[in-house]
Amino acid sequence: MTPKNVTRRDFSKLAAAALCGTLVGATALAQEKKLDTSKIQVEPSLLLEDPNVCRGINTCQGKGKGDHACAGQSACATAKDHSCSGHNDCKGQGGCGGYPGQNTCKEKGHCAVPLSKDTWPIARKQFEHLMKDMGQKFGSAPKG
């Protein structure tokens, strides 16, 4: 069929296919969410607990590595380094997924610590949101 033959198309059939796909996608999404909840088990407040998973997410002066004047300015992770998914020692010490540093169990974190260059901005953003919610002050982010 060429694009010129569109008037002969069965649009009700095409639309029905779209509806069917949408239903399948919505069902898959619901299952995915259920699976994610049981698999990752995240708790945002864990991002603020010690040890922390990367630079710039320490909650107080002295609770991060390297010289830093205040919260949010540490130079590196205080959590033990690990290089891949599921190798984290404890809760709140896993790397990526959408919830770095928020896994609730040992070996349930995703990816490496210290965080990768792709994951760190997510953690920092979430750190800023959490600190603002608690009315806590923090410094500008340290350079990578």
Partner 1 sequence: MSLSLQKKDPMDTWPPLSVVQQWFQAVVTHPDGIDSGIESDAACTLMPMTRDELARMVTRSKNLSAEERLSIYANAYYARLLECLGDSFPILKRTVGEEVFNGFAFGYLQRYPSHSYTLVRLGDHFARYLDETRPDREETMAISEKPPVGWPDFLIDVATLEWTIDQVFDGPGIEGKPTLSADDLHGIGTEDWPRVKLQTAPCLRLLKFRFPVNGYYTAVRRLTDASERIPAPAPAESFLAVSRREFIVRRHELSQPQFELLAALQDGETVGESVARAATLCDLDDEPLSRELQLWFRDWTQQQFFEAIRSE
8 Å CB contact between 126 and 45: no
Tokens coding 86:
């599921």
Nearest-approach distance from CB 6 to partner 1, in angstroms: 5
Nearest alpha-carbon partner for 106 in 31, 46, 19, 26: 46
Task: Provide the residue type at 117 as one letter.
Answer: K
Among positions 66, 98, 107, 132, the unique one binding partner 1 when judged by CB under 8 A: 98
Binding mask 103-122 for partner 1 (x = CB under 8 A): ------------------xx
Choose the stretch contacting partner 1; rule: CB under 8 A; options: 53-61, 73-81, 96-104, 130-138: 96-104
Round to whole Å and give the CA distance between 17 and 12.
Answer: 9
Round to whole Å and give the CA distance between 143 and 47.
Answer: 19
Nearest-approach distance from CB 52 to partner 1, in angstroms: 18
Residue 29 vs 105, nearer CB to partner 1: 29
Residue ranges in contact with partner 1 by CB under 8 A? 1-3, 6, 9-30, 32, 97-99, 121-122, 125-126
